[in-house]
């Protein structure tokens, strides 16, 4: 075992990324990022959604190749050309969704891909012994190497992922929001493991939105904004929350929001009373009026999408949800559509689109009854309706018969929203991350469309991870944290800084050591 | 304040050009203009299938010129194809809907046995036919119920039905072949009575294909079948009752098995628990050769029927040439592999 001294300012850092640039079509995801990581430290990476964190860790994992910039390990330039190359250099990445095989044992998972084997026959004894050794090193000797991974708790799986990283002799372990799936007591367990690993000289790059966690486990913080490093090596323990949040906010984004109307809103349209979703949403009550855009701001896992799914009847809930006085029934989306609701889901491709079918068929999917008699489709009317919407929404290229997967994200999203605009009578639109993966131009068009619909009297419930979007588009904002509404206010009364503070569970009163 | 984000730093000019660029990028998508439509994608495999049929026919005309091209041989090919053909129509729906039905042959056998028991035969040919259809539809509904509401994997649920239906058919018939009685010759007439040179059962086959095509391509039920198979979650969130639809698909498949049972009673003049052995494999193979994705969401009835005709013609050619059945099976296996490989190529070329 090597012993690690506390300060190594003389020796080059374990990992140094210099001026990393990564360009995607239409987006400059990384625009000159620097990162210095020392052996044995927990280095936290902070930044809002879209700041470039995921791209950066993918570069580090060998999954993306940077367009320019260099990566040094112990002062030596290295090339992370493939995930395998990255792993050989000692970089292990643990993604949010753990990539474990439930049906295999703990030991088999730990050594998956680099099994101890002779002539193709695995040596189970050796594998199990080696696994036991790693688990003991992590302080989890109680997990048996022969246990099936599917039987472990989320925290146990976290340990196995960590063991797998160590089995590769990882010197740097990247953890992407490792606490998102864990309960509170499990998080402290995770921290214990991280401390054990770093005590042995391994560096951990820790990504989380929760500032309190970063205070507890982190040594230094690097902040990203708009694909650039805006702060390097801040001390995690005593940088004031205010400063961190200021660094993250004020993103240079070209959002153009339509003006809000002067007049008031219509009658109460949607009422949610004491709604709870098991494990995700606790006792939420609010309402949406006709013509009003209500925004839900919150982190991934805060319960915001679950609220929207419950309203749509796509998820089991307790409590009472009514639209125009009619009760929403859990599990019955057909009824919800009949009551005048429409949903543009979070995962556009997985939940919204029939990718192999035409734009027209994607648009008319939810409203076939409108132009069919006893199930027989009037194809002429259908084609007219689809062509009308393609034109009205300015979907490009303006060809209803084009297969939808060939369109850009923004135009696909317009089609998903357009699905609910066939004919009149849609009362409530539920938009979950409507501009994810949408370019700037189409964003402005979607904002304008949503505002126009609201002006026509449609109620809108909007979910977005991008705080400026919620503040810019919504009339009223509900801040969601850990399944509860922690603040409700008119959009004009809130600013990005305040909302981020609330969202990240770092209210100045409770955790900031200085200021105010 | 709301019109433009206050934190916006870029100059208006830069903003405009950025927007213009974004528009340009949208207006010219990768691959240029509308080079292909869904119809064209669908057409390519069909052309391939028609070509394959033409080549097979040419082989027949060259190797067995005296027998292959005769009218009676053509009729016997169609009559042979009719039974599995009706089943294939149902199987196409199930597979496009993202499922699989392994029980079709067994359900057809059960329907044929149930319809030819002495008790049923007493009521005459019409009741026998209705009985066959009800038994088939009922078995299909049970499949669909287990899959939709019992949340069983289609492969398992219909495998269980395959085994159980075959067993029930054996029990009901005491493993004996049941003849269609002399009072019920109306059923046998379906294969012996000819209109314009073709036996009636070929017309039944044709009607089933046409109705199937219309349902799949011209009704909301057909549209939803593609949606449910292509992306069940998207279908559910669009307000489609995916479970009920899935159940209906299996019921439809069972209904087709019931019709197929009538056709096989007509052709063989019997009901038997051994009817339809391995029909499920022929039907699935025909659907796959016809370009339907086994993962659902994509496929055509015309393709499936062409696939089936290819299979039937191959069988016919091997028999006429006096070759043994083992070689025939090898040839069929090769054709399945070749068809899928060719389709993947044309699919890749078009996307």
Query: Which of A172, A236, A420, A396 has its CA nearest to residue A312?
Result: A420
Q: What confidence tens digit (pLDDT) does each residue in A131-141 have?
A: 999 998 888 88
Whether the Cβ atoms of residue A458 and residue A344 lie closer than 8 Å to each other: no
Alpha helices in B149-278 (DSSP H): 154-173, 185-192, 200-218, 220-230, 232-237, 242-268
Which tokens hold the place of A398? 């303006």
What pTM value is reported for the model? 0.81
Q: What is the pLDDT of residue A290?
A: 94
The whole-number pLDDT of residue A273 equals: 95
Which own/partner pairs from A71-74 qualify as long-range (CB within 8 Å, at least 24 positions apart)? A71/A15, A71/A16, A71/A17, A71/A18, A71/A20, A72/A12, A72/A13, A72/A15, A72/A16, A72/A17, A72/A18, A73/A14, A73/A15, A73/A16, A73/A171, A74/A11, A74/A12, A74/A14
**pLDDT confidence of residue B348:** 60
Answer whether residue B316 is part of any domain. Answer: yes
Q: How confident is the model at residue A385 (pLDDT cuts 50, 70, 90)?
A: very high
Most confident range (mean pLDDT) of A36-50, A149-163, B214-228, B291-305 is: B214-228
Give first-to-last CA distance, chain B, whole Å: 45
Q: Is the peptide bond before A307 cis (omega within 30 degrees of 0)?
A: no
B297 CB within 8 Å of a chain A CB: yes
Helix%, strand%, coil% for chain B, nearest 5:
75, 5, 25
Give yes or no for B333 touching A (CB within 8 A): no
Query: How close A272 comes to chain B (CA, Å)?
Result: 20
The verdict on residue B191 lying in a domain is yes
State the smallest CA–CA distance between residue B93 and chain A in angstroms.
16
Min mean pLDDT across A73-77, A418-422, B47-51, B308-312 is at: B47-51
**B202 CA: distance to closest CA in chain A (Å):** 26
SS3 A328: coil
What confidence category does residue B338 fall into, taking pLDDT thresholds of 50, 70 and 90? confident
Q: What is the mean pLDDT of chain A?
A: 87
Residue of B nearest to A257 (CA): B3
Contact B297 A377 (CB under 8 A): no
Look at residue A52 and give its three-state secondary structure.
coil
Q: Is A513's pLDDT higher than 60?
A: no
The residue among A78, A337, A54 whose CA lies nearest residue A175 is A54
Chain B interface includes A495 (CB < 8 A): no
Half-sphere exposure of B338 (CA within 13 A, CB side): 11
Please tell me the total count of domains within chain B: 1
Q: CB distance from A322 to chain B under 8 Å? A: no
The H-or-E segment that residue B333 falls in is helix B325-350
**Per mean pLDDT, which of A46-55, A74-83, A101-110, B254-263 is the most reliable?**
B254-263
CA-closest candidate to residue A220, choices A505, A7, A4: A7
The answer on pLDDT for A351 being more than 70 is: yes
Any chain B CB within 8 A of the CB of A398? no
Please compute the mean of the pLDDT values over residues B176-191 and round it to a whole number: 93
Q: Give yes or no for B221 touching A (CB within 8 A).
A: yes
From the CB of residue B107, how many other CB atoms can be counted at a distance below 10 Å?
37
Is the pLDDT score of B3 beyond 80? no
Interface probe with A: pick from B3, B26, B243, most Cβ of A within 10 Å = B26
Q: pLDDT by residue (tens digit) across B229-271? A: 999 999 999 999 999 999 999 999 999 999 999 999 999 999 9
Give percent of chain A with pLDDT exceeding 90. Answer: 50
**CB-count burial class (<10 Å; 0-12, 13-18, 19+) for A194:** buried
Q: Could you tell me if B211 lies within 8 Å of chain A, comparing CB atoms? A: no
How many Å lie between the alpha carbon of A239 and the closest alpha carbon of chain B? Answer: 24
Check: CB of residue B179 under 8 Å from CB of residue B270: yes
The answer to whether the Cβ–Cβ distance between A439 and B230 falls below 8 Å is no
> Is A402 in Cβ contact with B37 (below 8 Å)?
yes
The pLDDT score that the predictor gives to residue A338 is 92
| Residue from A31, A45, A39 nearest A13 by CA | A39
* Lookup: tokens for A415: 């089609």
pLDDT at position A24, please?
A: 80
Q: Which residues of chain A lie closer than 8 angstroms to B25, CB-CB?
A: 25-26, 408, 439
Q: Does B4 touch chain A (CB under 8 A)?
A: yes
Of B2, B219, B234, which is closest to A354 when you measure between CB atoms? B234
Helix (H) or strand (E) holding A293: strand A293-297
Count of all residues that appear for chain A in the document: 516
CA angle A399, A402, A408 (to 5 degrees): 90
Residue B268 inside a domain? The answer is yes
Contact residues, B window 53-72, toward A, CB-based 8 Å cutoff: none
A467-506 confidence digits (pLDDT tens): 888 999 999 999 998 889 999 999 889 988 888 888 876 5
Whole-angstrom distance, CA of residue A146 vs CA of residue B33: 57
Determine the Cα–Cα distance for residues A167 and A131; give it in Å rounded to an integer.
8
Contact between B2 and A399 using a beta-carbon 8 Å cutoff? no
Is residue A404 classed as helix, strand or coil in its secondary structure?
helix
Q: Distance between CA B30 and CA B46 in Å, rounded? A: 27
Predicted pLDDT at A409:
85
Angle between helices A409-418 and A440-455 (to 10 degrees): 20
- Rounded Cα distance between A77 and B299, Å, is 52
- Is residue B243 less than 8 Å (CB to CB) from chain A? no
At B22, is the pLDDT very low, low, confident or very high (cuts 50, 70, 90)?
Answer: very low
Q: Give the residue from A28, A305, A333, A419 with the most B CB atoms within 10 Å of its CB, the best one to mutate.
A: A333
Please tell me the distance in Å from B254's CA to the nearest CA on chain A. Answer: 21
CA A431 from centroid of its chain's CA atoms? 16
pLDDT (tens digit per residue) in A192-209: 889 988 998 999 999 887
Q: Mean pLDDT over residues A437-445, rounded? A: 81
- pLDDT of residue B323 exceeding 70: yes
Tell me: pLDDT of A263 over 90: no
A90 min Cα distance to partner chain B (Å): 37
> Domain for residue B141, yes or no?
yes
Instruction: For chain A, say whether B24 makes contact (Cβ under 8 Å).
Output: no
Comparing B64 with B348, the larger pLDDT belongs to B64
Q: Show residues of chain A in contact with B1, CB under 8 Å.
A: 492
Q: A329 at the B interface (CB within 8 A)? A: no
Average pLDDT of chain B to the nearest whole number: 86
Beta-bridge partners for A276: A318
Beta-bridge mates of residue A36: A16
CA distance B224 to B25: 33
Contacting residues for A516 by C-beta, under 8 A, at least 6 apart? A242, A508
Check pLDDT > 50 for residue B39: no
According to the model, what pLDDT value does residue A474 have? 94
pLDDT (0 to 100) of residue B11? 38
pLDDT at B9: 37
Contact B256, B90 (CB under 8 A): yes
Query: Does B233 contact A358 at a Cβ distance shorter than 8 Å?
Result: no
Q: State the CATH number of the domain containing residue B182.
A: 1.10.3470
pLDDT value for B15: 40
A208-256 pLDDT, tens digit per residue, is 877 788 888 999 999 988 888 998 888 988 888 778 888 887 666 567 7
CB contact under 8 A, B33 and A492: no
Any CB–CB contact under 8 A between A330 and chain B?
no
Nearest CB partner across the interface for A397, out of B21, B34, B219? B34
Contacts of B211 (CB under 8 A, 6+ apart): none
Q: Distance between CA A409 and CA B256 in Å, rounded? A: 41
Asked if the model's pLDDT at residue A265 lies above 80, the reply is: yes
Residue A352's contacts (CB-CB under 8 Å, 6 or more residues apart) are: A344, A345, A412, A416, B234, B237
pLDDT of residue A1: 39
**A484-490 and A372-373 beta bridge pairing:** unpaired
Say if B280 falls within a structural domain: yes
The residue range of the domain holding B105 is 37-345
CA separation (Å) from B235 to A123, B215, B229, B239, B243? 47, 18, 9, 7, 11
- Considering only residues A513 and A94, tell me which one the structure prediction assigns the higher pLDDT: A94
Closest CA to A207 of A218, A191, A196, A195: A218
B241 at interface of A, judged by CB pairs closer than 8 A? yes
Within a domain: residue B145?
Answer: yes
E strand residue ranges, A349-455: 372-373, 376-377, 428-432
- Looking at the domain assignment, is residue B117 inside a domain? yes
Cα–chain center distance at A176: 11
CB proximity list for A201: less than 8 A, separation 6 or greater: A2, A4, A39, A40, A171
**Is residue B133's pLDDT more than 70?**
yes
pLDDT of residue A139: 82
Per residue in A456-470, pLDDT (tens digit) is 999 999 998 888 889
Closest to A297 in 3D by CA, of A444, A441, A489, A459? A489
What percent of chain B has a predicted confidence (pLDDT) above 90? Answer: 68
Is pLDDT at A49 greater than 90 in this prediction? no
In a domain, B292, yes or no: yes
- Average pLDDT (A170-184) is 82
Q: Number of A to B CB contacts under 8 A, please give it.
A: 159
Which candidate in A28, A312, A365 is best for mutational testing of the B interface (most B CBs within 10 A)? A365
Name the residue of chain B whose CA is nearest to A416's CA: B238
**Pairing verdict, β A293-297 and A476-481:** parallel
pLDDT at residue A252, as a whole number: 60
């Amino acid at each position: 075992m090597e012993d690690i001294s506390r300060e190594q300012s003389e020796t080059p850092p374990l990992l140094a990324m210099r001026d990393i640039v990564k360009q995607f079509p239409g987006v400059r995801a990384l625009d000159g990022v620097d990162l210095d990581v020392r052996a044995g430290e927990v280095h936290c990476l902070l930044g809002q959604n879209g700041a470039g964190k995921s791209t950066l860790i993918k570069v580090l994992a060998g999954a993306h190749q940077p367009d320019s910039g260099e990566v040094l390990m112990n002062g030596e330039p290295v090339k992370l050309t493939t995930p395998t190359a990255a792993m050989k250099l000692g970089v292990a990445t643990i993604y949010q969704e753990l990539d474990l095989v439930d049906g295999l044992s703990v030991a088999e998972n730990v050594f998956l891909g680099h099994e101890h084997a002779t002539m193709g026959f695995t040596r189970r004894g050796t594998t199990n012994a080696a696994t036991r050794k790693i688990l003991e090193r992590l302080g989890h000797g109680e997990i048996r190497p022969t246990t099936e991974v599917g039987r472990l708790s989320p925290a146990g799986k976290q340990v196995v992922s960590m063991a797998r990283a160590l089995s590769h002799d990882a010197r740097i372990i990247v953890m992407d929001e490792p606490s998102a799936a864990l309960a509170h007591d499990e998080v402290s367990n995770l921290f214990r493991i991280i401390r054990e690993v770093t005590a042995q000289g391994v560096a951990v790059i820790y990504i989380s939105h929760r500032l309190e966690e970063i205070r507890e486990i982190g040594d230094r913080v690097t902040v990203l904004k708009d694909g650039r490093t805006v702060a390097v090596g801040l001390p995690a323990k005593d940088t004031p929350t205010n400063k961190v949040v200021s660094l993250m906010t004020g993103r240079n984004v070209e959002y153009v929001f339509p003006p809000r109307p002067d007049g008031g809103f219509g009658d109460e349209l949607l009422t949610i009373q004491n709604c709870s979703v098991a494990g995700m949403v606790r006792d939420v009550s609010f309402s949406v009026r006709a013509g009003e855009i209500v925004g839900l701001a919150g982190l991934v896992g805060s319960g915001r999408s679950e609220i929207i799914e419950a309203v749509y009847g796509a998820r089991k809930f307790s409590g009472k949800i009514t639209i125009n006085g009619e009760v929403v029934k859990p599990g019955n989306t057909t009824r919800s559509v009949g009551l005048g609701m429409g949903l543009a889901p979070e995962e556009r491709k997985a939940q919204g689109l029939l990718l192999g079918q035409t734009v027209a068929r994607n648009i008319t999917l939810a409203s076939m009854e409108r132009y069919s008699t006893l199930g027989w489709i009037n194809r002429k009317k259908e084609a007219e309706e689809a062509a009308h919407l393609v034109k009205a929404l300015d979907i490009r290229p303006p060809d209803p018969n084009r297969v939808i997967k060939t369109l850009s994200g923004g135009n696909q999203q317009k089609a998903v929203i357009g699905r609910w605009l066939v004919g009149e009578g849609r009362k409530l639109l539920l938009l979950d991350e409507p501009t994810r993966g949408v370019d700037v131009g189409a964003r402005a068009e979607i904002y304008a469309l949503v505002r126009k619909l609201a002006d026509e009297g449609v109620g809108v419930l909007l979910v977005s991870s991008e705080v400026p979007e919620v503040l810019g588009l919504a009339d009223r904002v509900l801040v969601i944290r850990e399944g509860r509404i922690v603040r409700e206010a008119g959009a004009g009364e809130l600013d990005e800084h305040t909302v981020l503070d609330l969202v990240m569970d770092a209210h100045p009163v409770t955790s900031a050591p200085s200021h105010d | 304040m709301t019109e433009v984000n206050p934190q916006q730093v870029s100059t208006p000019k830069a903003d405009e050009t950025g927007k213009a660029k974004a528009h340009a990028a949208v207006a010219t998508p990768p691959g240029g203009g509308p080079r292909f439509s869904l119809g064209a994608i669908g057409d390519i495999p069909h052309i391939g299938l028609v070509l394959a049929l033409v080549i097979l026919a040419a082989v027949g005309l060259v190797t067995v010129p005296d027998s292959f091209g005769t009218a009676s041989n053509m009729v016997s090919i169609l009559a042979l194809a009719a039974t599995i053909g009706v089943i294939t129509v149902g199987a196409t729906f199930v597979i496009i809907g993202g499922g699989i039905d392994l029980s079709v042959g067994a359900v057809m056998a059960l329907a044929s046995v149930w319809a030819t028991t002495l008790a049923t035969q007493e009521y005459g040919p019409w009741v026998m036919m209705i009985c066959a259809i009800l038994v088939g539809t009922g078995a299909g509904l049970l499949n669909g119920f287990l899959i939709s509401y019992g949340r069983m994997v289609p492969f398992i649920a219909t495998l269980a039905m395959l085994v159980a239906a075959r067993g029930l058919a054996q029990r009901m018939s005491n493993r004996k072949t049941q003849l269609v009685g002399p009072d019920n010759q109306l059923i046998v007439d379906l294969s012996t009575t000819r209109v314009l040179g073709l036996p009636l059962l070929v017309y039944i086959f044709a009607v089933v294909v046409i109705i199937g095509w219309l349902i799949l391509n011209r009704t909301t039920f057909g549209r939803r079948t593609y949606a449910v198979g292509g992306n069940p979650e998207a279908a559910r969130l669009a307000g489609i009752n995916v479970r009920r639809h899935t159940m209906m698909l299996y019921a439809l498949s069972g209904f087709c098995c019931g019709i197929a049972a009538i056709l096989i009673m007509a052709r063989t003049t019997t009901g038997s628990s051994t009817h339809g052995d391995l029909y499920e494999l022929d039907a699935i193979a025909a659907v796959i050769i016809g370009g339907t994705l086994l993962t659902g969401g994509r496929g055509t009835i015309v393709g499936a029927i062409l696939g089936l005709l290819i299979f039937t013609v191959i069988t016919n050619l091997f028999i006429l040439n006096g070759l043994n059945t083992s070689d025939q099976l090898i040839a069929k296996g090769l054709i399945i592999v070749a068809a899928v490989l060719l389709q993947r190529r044309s699919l890749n070329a078009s996307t």
